[in-house]
Amino acid sequence: MSDQQPEPLRPARSSPDAAASSPDAAATSPEQARDRRDDGRPEQSRPRDRTGRPLPYGTTGVPLTEEHDPADVEHALTLGVRLWGEQRYFEAHECLEHVWHAAPLEDADLWQSVIQIAVAGVHLQRGNPSGARALLVRSAERFTGYPDIHRGIDVVAAVARCHALVRALDDGASADTLEVGSFPAVPTGAWFTPDPAALAPPAEATPLVDEPTWLTAGQPRRARTRERD
C-alpha cells in the first residue's frame, strides 16, 4: 500500500468492508447487504455506535454516530475539532478527511497524522491496543519534517502524546482506560489553507473536493457540486 493511501478506518459511506462486518452479513449476499443511494451508488445506512461499529437496523437506546455534511473545508475542520472534543473520534475523523483531501501535497502528511490520532482514539474506545498503537506510531513518524507548529497544529505536543500513549500501551495499560486527549492545536486554533506558501487562512471558504488534492497535484482542481434546497 502506498504511503499516501487511506488508513484502516474509512468513512461509513465508503467503507468496503461495511457489509462483511455487519452482524447479519452471513445471512445475505454482499449486494443484498449493501444499502444504496437514489443514484445507485453504495451507501452504508446501518446505524453505528459512537465508535463506528455497525449495529442492527432499528437499534435504539444507545448513542449513535451522526452524519455530518460540512459546507466547506473550514466548516469540516470546525466540526472535526468539536466532535473530537466530545470524544466522538469516529465522526471527527470523517469530517477531518475533508480537510486532508483538500490539503496541498505539502500538508497532506500533517492532516493525515491528525486523523490517525483520531482513529487511534477510536481503537482505544474499542479496546483494541494493537490498532491504536500502530496508528500512533505512524502518526508520530508522519509528523516528521514539519515545524513545531504548523497550520495551528502543535506538532511537538502531538508527537509527545503519541509517544506517551505508545509507552503506556507497551507497559500494559488497558486501551479503554487511555484517551488521546484534546485536539492537538495551539490556543489560537488550527487552520487550513490550500496554498502551501500561505502564512494565514484564505479570505474565502475552501470548497470540498471529490478527489484528494495531493493525488491530483498539477491537475485542475475540481470542486464538489452540492445540491441546495
pLDDT tens per residue across span 128-146: 999 999 999 999 999 999 9
- Tell me what the mean pLDDT of segment 54-72 comes to: 67
CATH number at 73-211: 1.10.3450.10
Q: Find out whether 152 and 185 touch, Cβ atoms under 8 Å.
A: yes
pLDDT tens per residue across span 87-117: 999 999 999 999 999 999 999 999 999 999 9
Q: What is the mean pLDDT of the chain?
A: 78
- pTM for the model stands at 0.73
pLDDT at 73 over 80: yes
Residue in 107, 92, 84, 131 with CA at minimum distance from that of residue 191: 107
SS3 219: coil
Torsion of CA 116, 68, 198, 4, to 10 degrees: 40
The Cα 194–Cα 174 span in angstroms is 39
143, amino acid identity:
F
- Lowest average pLDDT, out of 4-18, 70-84, 92-106, 189-203, goes to 4-18
SS3 150: strand
| CA–CA distances in Å: residue 38 to residues 10, 142, 190 | 22, 39, 36
The Cα 5–Cα 3 span in angstroms is 6
Task: Quickly state the pLDDT bin for 152 (edges 50, 70, 90).
Answer: very high
Q: Where in the chain is the domain with CATH 1.10.3450.10?
A: 73-211
Q: Find out whether 103 and 193 touch, Cβ atoms under 8 Å.
A: no
SS3 36: strand
